[in-house]
Amino acid sequence: MRATLANMAPQGFRAMWAELAEVGRDGGTGGYRRFAWTRTDAVLREWFTGQAEARGMDVVTDRAGNLWAWTVDPDAHGPGLVLGSHLDSVPDGGAFDGPLGVVSAFAALDLLRAAGQEPARPLGIACFGDEEGARFGVACAGSKLLTGALDADRARGLTDAEGTSMAEAMTQAGFDAAAVGPDEETLRRIGTFVELHVEQGRALVDTGAAVGVASSIWSHGRWRLDLRGRADHAGTTRLADRDDPMLALAAAVQEARAAAERAGTVATIGKLAVAPNGVNAIPSSVTAWLDARGDEADVRTVVAEVGAAAGVIPVEESWTGPTVFDAGLRDRLAAALGTDGVPAPVLPTGAGHDAGILAAAGVPTAMLFVRNPTGVSHSPAEHAEEADCLAGVAALARVVQELG
């Protein structure tokens, strides 16, 4: 059966991919700008609904604005297996992060039907809203509102760069902002959720496998380093008399890399604010943000070491504990997707996903990753080979056979 599925023609996948390719694409960078509750977002939602209806699926929108397409009514036939991901993007994002999971879900259903295998249980395909948080600053907003992890009033009050609130944006998009909130009815329909996603690193490259299974999402935190100095004239202040916070920044950047290497985590300083930021002025302050992910104890060690190197106590701005996916489900899928008795690779990830939000809410959840040859993501250069994408489609079809 698996050989049959894997060998099927890729036309359906290619057609969907081509339809999405131009939606929200920036003509200059080639990257995507698909932000929540915009006209581009509406086009993507219309595309999703059209694909579902073409397959005879009914689409419902939940109270958080996520879309659910069902082969048969889960309220009548019991909770179903749900596949899917999201269609929105970061600024100048790639084509794969999100859409690959949605397109692959539809293509997997096509594969099964072409083989005469209509799923026995209700099969759902989800399109989560606002996963990247690019417009309002909160990632996984759709799934967090659904589970209650994000307070509805707080979400309604979030504003974008133009000062438009999420409530206003929802209203402009024709969505009922007042009704936003946790949606137990929708959650009850989900027997199991499996999200396929392009890998955002290169772990699979080393394993030689096109598809892997997620073990966990690392702990993840953000800290602010407030590096203080003394504003002074860059031409006349002797080196020995300077209190230049740029030197503390340099130490923090280097220690973030070194400490992460020692601990086996990742740590990044990607955002800075320099005051007064003048060519001829020694800065009075440099503010640096540290993003660190990994096992909690390791991450906290790294953060403390970076703070010590910079001479400050890092200020914690956010902390999310680890998400461990359902172990039984993980092992079952790794076995089902393995070759010659060798399970598919099982790997952790440093990125947050809607699957992690559902798992934290108690939904049996798994993730599949499709190999990314460069590991690049959140960039127009994000890529996966078509053969690997089709292997992902076949893997999702296999998941439906196993669980559906």
Q: Which residues contact a second copy by CB under 8 A?
A: 91-92, 199-203, 218, 220, 222, 230-239, 241, 244, 246-247, 249-251, 253-254, 257, 260-261, 266, 268-272, 274, 276-284, 289, 291, 293, 349-352, 375-379, 381
For residue 342, count other CB atoms closer than 10 A to its CB. 10
| Between 103 and 290, CB nearer to a second copy | 290
State the nearest-atom distance from the C-beta of 379 to a second copy, in Å.
Answer: 5
- Region of 59 (left: φ > 0; alpha: ψ -120 to 50; beta: rest) is beta
| Between 159 and 268, CB nearer to a second copy | 268
State the nearest-atom distance from the C-beta of 291 to a second copy, in Å.
Answer: 5
State the nearest-atom distance from the C-beta of 158 to a second copy, in Å.
Answer: 16
Encoded tokens for 11: 């036309």
State the nearest-atom distance from the C-beta of 194 to a second copy, in Å.
Answer: 19
3-state helix, strand, coil in the chain (%, to 5): 40, 25, 35
| Between 4 and 277, CB nearer to a second copy | 277
| Between 130 and 291, CB nearer to a second copy | 291
Q: Are the CB atoms for 275 and 218 separated by under 8 Å? A: no
| Between 110 and 244, CB nearer to a second copy | 244
Encoded tokens for 32: 């995507």
| Between 49 and 287, CB nearer to a second copy | 287
Query: What is the greatest pairwise CA distance in the chain?
Result: 81
| 340: Cβ contacts below 8 Å, ≥ 6 apart | none
Looking at residue 126, the DSSP 8-state letter turns out to be E
| 168: Cβ contacts below 8 Å, ≥ 6 apart | 177
Looking at residue 53, the DSSP 8-state letter turns out to be H
Spatial CA neighbour of 265 closest among 255, 252, 275, 276: 255
State the nearest-atom distance from the C-beta of 154 to a second copy, in Å.
Answer: 19
State the nearest-atom distance from the C-beta of 292 to a second copy, in Å.
Answer: 9
